[in-house]
Every structure is written in structure tokens, then in C-alpha cells.
Amino acid sequence: MTEVALQAVELVRRIEGAVSHTLVNGIDLAVNKGEFVAITGPSGSGKSSLLYLLGLLDAPSEGEVMICGQPTSKLSETDRADVRLTKCGFVFQFHFLLPEFTSLDNVLLPMRAAGRMAEAEMRERGLALLSSLGLGEHASKRPNQLSGGQRQRVAIARALANRPEIIVADEPTGALDTASTEQVFSILRDIADQGQTVVVVTHDPALAARADRRIHIVDGKIAEITERGGGELVCEAAS
Amino acid sequence: MKLLFNIAWTHVSSRVRQTLVGMAGVSMGVGFTIMMAGLMQGSQIDFLRQLVDTMPHITVEDERRSVPTQPAEQEYAAVQMSDIANVGKRTGIRYSESVMSSLRSWIPGDVAPSAKTTAIVNHGGARIGITLSGIDPRREVQVSKLATQMREGKIDDLSRAPNGIIMGEALAEKLGVKTGNTVLLVGGQGVQLNSTVAGLYRSGLKRVDESQIYSLMGPAQVMMGQGGVINQLRLRLNDPMLAQKVAAQVEAQTGYKSVSWQEANADLLSSFTVRDFIVLTVMGAMLLTSSFATYNIISTITHEKRQDIAIMKSLGMREYAVRRIFIIEAAIIGLVGILFGWILGYLLCYGWSKITIFNPLTGATVPLQIYYSLAHYVIVGGISLVCCAGAAYFPARKATCVHPVEIIRGAS
């Protein structure tokens, strides 16, 4: 039986104000362990909002997000931070590395925050991660000494630092050239192939097509789910 | 904690100029506050020392704090008496020698008798009211600094001159007399006594130097019109600060009103309290103002680092841990600032202690009195550190409360 890594149940995110606005409108979704899911949709459709909810960066107005079977709606902000630190890894459109820190220090940041490993062990893992992403010789460089693609790979290494169950990426190739885009997407694909769950928001249909499943969002609702089975894409409209 | 310190250190060390300005602000506040504290306490201690040196620490007078109840009042509750004439009551402290012997057996100091009265000193056209204290020179040196305050002549000269008196230089100047001159003392009973100025003293307190004259017991008792009377005992303690406690014990033992130097100068001491309050307020304001520099820096850093704060929070760092980064930054600025402030404060104190001022009353040029105390450094440093941490807390709290999604979306 396939293990569910991430599940959204009747997920709603509403912005209350003079004019209320619903960003995510009743989404049900289950992502299996080791699955690579791409979320697509037009601008303003709610795909990033859904991703932030799935990654516990934001709290739903209604519904539930379950991470590895654990409900999260009743968790305190501190507990949510702990879940983010240990079970989720984030990659954003912009690298968002700390500019005064070296690549290695940026990768070490989540590990140091978690404080579960000895310093030597952390450094060893940090260097191994950077090397595996082709950045071994850039470990002591600061973000401003790296190219856009290299920075994004450092950000991926940082996301992987604490061996999270789930990697959520918000348009990770949005600011990259074609070559870097291909490189970053291949890395994410490899991560999923190694058993970690990857959820990516992207505008690029070609890249989305390489995911195990593509979820198309329109107006905060799932409009279409496309699955890749045996090399064939199977489309079905959401009910 | 090491991670937070690393991030904090990176922030402050990458803004050298801002950090130095913040540290300079703290240093100035701490340095000048220490200097003010040293100067204020130094001048106060110097003044009190002069006051304590000039006056007896405890004065036992031949009077009671309240009128003693009459036997009839003690016997019958219905009896109330007032306006009782003390007919035949003899002034002075009874059995003064016995009382002094008894006090000497337990007080931590010494006691000397005196006969105190008021008189008018008459010389040329001048008539000035004074207090005349008859003293025993041999015992007086045990209870007062009069011997060291002599500017002309010695205390022993009282015995050598006919009806010799010692007066303050300020009074002598008013009267236009010098050592060896004769003045006329007129007592309350109409007694007149030609007295020779045997010496001049300077206590440093104007009100004393202009109104206090010393003589031997005999002439003072003659002026009182009561031979052999001792109406005042003057006590000097090894530790002047015990005066209030000892005075209460003396009063309980003898029944006579015993006034400590603190009680005699209560109005002056209360004015010190007001002065202390004002100066402490000013010093507190200085420290608070100096912490504004820290507030500015931390505000700027938190503003510039909003994106980093959002990322750290999104990575799973807890809000209070992120907030602590900025508190540590303020602590770094504060601690280094305080360290330099201590050095600045010491140098300022040292510099000010080299400044001399002329005291027109004492006629001496004396350096500004500075009191060096470790407590000043510790207290001022502590307050400054708290102010810095407080100054950092509010901008840090505001910045770390921001939802990371808002900033990430904004950056995208």
C-alpha cells in the first residue's frame, strides 16, 4: 500500500477584509511518499497559496493539512515551526540565501537550528550535499560570488539539509536560464526518485509534464489532474 | 545559541560605521554618567565630612523632648496639667561627670562637657549675636576637629589669655579684630565680660564660622550666670554613621534630649535626597538617550533583514530565536559600548579631579572631589545594558511578528 506523505482535506484559505478573497477553495489532495507533483495554473490561481499551506508556512482558514499522517491545524506556531524545520524543505523562486554567509553556512543553517548533530557531522553532511549538487568547490563562496543556478542549487542543498520528508518548491526555476532550469529540475526529479516527496509550483508546462502528477489550479480549485503512467499522460477533469 | 550569535555578529560586523556610532552613543552615556555619579557622590561625601568634622556627632542637651508628666497626672487619669512653671528648676545636666563616665564605658567614641549659652559680642560699632561654648581644651580635642581647624593660635591659648576666646575667621573679619584684641561679651543676664581673642579657626561652614565662639568653662558659666553648670555633652563616635542609633540609646539612658548630627541637619540631608533624585533622573535620561542609538541601529537592521527573518522563520527557526538574534546584536553593541564607557568614565573622573576651584569661604583652592566606586561602574553598566536590550526588543519583536509569506510574496 502506498504511504501518503502529504494530504490536504477540504483546504480553504480566505483573506478577510473589506472585500473577502478566497485564495484556496476546498482542495482535497493526497501526495504519496516519493511522488513528484507539479502544481500549475495561471497567475493568481492560488497555486503558491496552496503550496504555502501544504508547507505549513501559512495556516488554512478551514480544512486540514496532514504531514506524514499528523494533523497540523491544531499545532501552535512553535510546533508548526518545528515541523517545517524537520519535515519540510523549502525552495523559493529566488534563492533567499543569507548574503553574509558562505554557501556551506547557508546549508548548515537548518541543521544548526535543529541542533541534532555535532558540528563536524553537520559540516560533513553540508559538504556532501553541496558536492552532490556540483558545488563542492563553491562551499566557501558567498551567494554574490555564485551564478543564479548555483545559488538555487545551494538553496536546494539547504532544503535537503535536515533530510525532510517533503520538499516544497515555489517556482524554483522561475528566475533561471534554460540550462540552469534543466539542472535544477533534474535535481528535484532525482530527489523524488530517491524517495523524498516533492511538490513544485511551476509555470512551465514542459517541466510539469515531467512530474508524476500535474495538478492544474484555477480560481483556487483543482481544475485538472494529469497523471503520468507508463510514460503516457492521462488527463482527467476534476469533478 | 552559537548559530544565533554567529548571525548577530555577522550583522553587526558588516555594518562597521553604524555599529561604531551605536557603541559611541552607549560609551558617551555610560562615561558621562559615571563621571556625574563620581562627582555628585564625591562632593556630597566631602560636604558631609566637613559637616561631621565640624560638629559633634551627638549633642546631649539639658532638655527633654516632651514635658514630663506630673505625679498627679500619673496617679489620676482625670488630672490634666499645663503651663507648669518650673520654679526652682536648676538648669544643666545633673551629675554630668557621672553621666559622662557612664557613657564613656560603652559608647564607641568619646564625650566632652560644654557650657553653652548665647551672648552678644560688642566691638566698635558692631553688635553680633553669637553662641558661646565653654569647653575643656583637654577633652575637646577628643570630640572635635577644632584643634586642626585653628588658623591662628592654639586651643591651649584659651588658658593663657585673660578670658580668652577663640572665634571664627569670618566673625573676626566682620568685627575687624585680630588675635590679641579684646572684645566685649554681653550675656543674657546682663553680665559683661572683656575677652581676649586667643585664636582664630576656620571650620569651612559659614554659619559656624560667623556665630560660634569658644571659651573655657569658667567664662561661659559666668555669662550664663550659673557657676559650675554643664548644659551640653558633646559626643564623637568612631563611626559617625552610628550617631542616630547611639543618640537614641543615650537618650534612653540619660533622659536628656540627644541629637545626632543627622537629626540636626535633617533639612540639609533631605535636600540631598532631592538633589540625588534630580541627578539620578538626569543620569537615567542620559543612559536612555544613549540607548536610542542602539534602537536606531536595530531598527535599521531589522528593516533591512526582513527577508532574512522571513527565510529563517520559513526554514523553521522559532520566532523567539530569531528575535534573540537582534537582542544579541544589541548586547554586543551595548557590551562593547559599556566597556569603552567605563574607560571614558574613569578618564573623565581623573581629568575632573585635576580641576581645582577656589572656595571663597575657606580661602583654599581645592580639587573637585571625585568618589571612585566599583558600584558606579557595575550599576551604570547594568542599566545601560538593560536599556540597550529594551531598545532592541521592540523593533525585533515587530520585525519577527511579520508573517514570512507576506515578505516572500513581496520579494517575489
pLDDT of A163-202, one tens digit each? 888 999 888 887 777 877 888 888 888 888 888 899 999 8
CA-closest candidate to residue B37, choices B324, B385, B316, B384: B384
Percentage of residues in chain A with pLDDT exceeding 90?
Answer: 25
Facing residue for B316 by CB, picked from A81, A100, A105: A81
Q: ipTM of this predicted complex?
A: 0.83
Q: How far is B401 from chain A (nearest CA, A)?
A: 11
The residues of chain B scoring below 70 in pLDDT are 85-90, 359-363, 411-412
- Which residue, among A231, A178, A189, has the nearest Cα to A211 in the 3D structure? A189
Strand pairing category for A213-218 and B150-152: unpaired
Cβ-defined contact of A88 to B316 (cutoff 8 Å) = yes
Tell me if B315 and A86 make a contact (CB, 8 A cut-off). Answer: no
Residue B16 has a CB neighbour count (10 Å cut-off) of 9
Which of B12, B305, B307, B408 to probe the A interface (max A CBs under 10 A)? B408
Q: How far apart are CA A55 and CA A68, in angstroms?
A: 12
What b/e string do you get for B341-366 counting C-beta neighbours within 10 Å, with b at 16 or more? bbebbbebbeebbeeeeeeeebeeee
Between residues B304 and A67, the one the model is more confident about? A67
- Provide the pLDDT for residue B361: 54
Which tens digit of pLDDT belongs to each residue from B327-344? 898 889 889 999 999 999
Are A72 and A83 in contact by the 8 Å Cβ rule? The answer is: yes
Q: CB-CB: which of A78, A112, A171 is closest to B318?
A: A78
Q: Which residue of A has its CA nearest to B409?
A: A48
Distance (Å) from the alpha carbon of A130 to chain B's nearest alpha carbon: 18
> Is B316 in Cβ contact with A93 (below 8 Å)?
no
- Residues of chain A whose C-beta is under 8 A from some C-beta in B? 48, 52, 57-58, 77-78, 81-86, 88, 90, 92-94, 96, 98, 100-101, 105, 109-110, 112-114, 158, 170-171
pLDDT of B47: 81
Q: Tell me which of A102 and A206 has the higher pLDDT.
A: A102
* Partner-chain residue, chosen from B10, B311, B312, that has the shortest CB–CB distance to A100: B10
The C-alpha angle with vertex B93 and arms to B122 and B117, in degrees rounded to 5, equals 10
Confidence (pLDDT) at A231: 46
* Probe site for chain B from A96, A163, A173, A203 (most B CB atoms < 10 A): A96
Instruction: Quickly tell me which residue has 561679651 as its cell.
Output: B185
Maximum distance among all Cα pairs of chain B, rounded to whole angstroms: 104
Q: How far is C-alpha B16 from the geometric centre of its chain's CA atoms?
A: 43
Q: What digits encode the pLDDT tens for the residues A8-46?
A: 999 999 888 778 888 888 899 999 988 999 999 998 888
Contact assignment for B316 to A85 by CB distance below 8 Å? yes
Tell me the chain A residues in contact with residue B405 when contact means C-beta distances shorter than 8 Å.
52, 57-58
Residue of chain B whose alpha carbon sits nearest to that of A55: B314
Residues of B within an 8 Å Cβ radius of A: 2-3, 6-7, 10-11, 14, 307-308, 310-319, 321, 403-405, 408-409, 411-412
A85 with B317: Cβ contact below 8 A: yes
Answer whether residue A139 shows pLDDT above 70.
yes
Using one digit for the tens of pLDDT, what is the confidence trace for B156-169? 999 888 889 999 99
Determine the residue of chain B that is closest to A57 in CA distance: B314
Q: Which of A94, A105, A110 sits opposite B315 (nearest CB)?
A: A110
- d(CA B182, CA B394) in angstroms, rounded, equals 76
**Distance separating alpha carbons of residues A87 and A89, to the nearest angstrom:** 7
What is the rounded average pLDDT of the residues A93-111? 88
Domains, chain A, ordered by start: 4-237 (3.40.50.300)
**Nearest residue on chain B to A108, judged by CA atoms?**
B3
Q: Average pLDDT, whole number, for chain A?
A: 86
Beta-strand ranges (E) seen in B205-256 are 212-216, 232-237
Q: What is the pLDDT of residue A74?
A: 87
Name every chain B residue with its beta carbon within 8 A of the beta carbon of A92.
408, 412
Which residues from chain B sit within 8 angstroms of residue A113, using beta carbons? 3, 312, 315-317, 321
User: What residues does each domain of chain B span?
Assistant: 2-52+268-411, 58-73+90-260
Of B88, B109, B91, B89, nearest in space to B100 by CA: B109
- Cα–Cα distance between B83 and B275 in angstroms, integer? 42
Closest to B316 (Cβ–Cβ): which among A96, A110, A171?
A110
- Partner-chain residue, chosen from B11, B403, B412, that has the shortest CB–CB distance to A94: B412
A92/B317 Cβ within 8 A = no
Q: Give the distance from CA B389 to its chain's centroid.
A: 33
| Partner-chain residue, chosen from B308, B313, B408, that has the shortest CB–CB distance to A98 | B308
CB pairs < 8 Å spanning A and B: 67
Strand partners, A221: A218
Do B408 and A110 lie within an 8 Å CB cutoff? no
Predicted pLDDT of residue B319: 85
- Look at A85 and B315 and tell me if their CB atoms are within 8 Å: yes
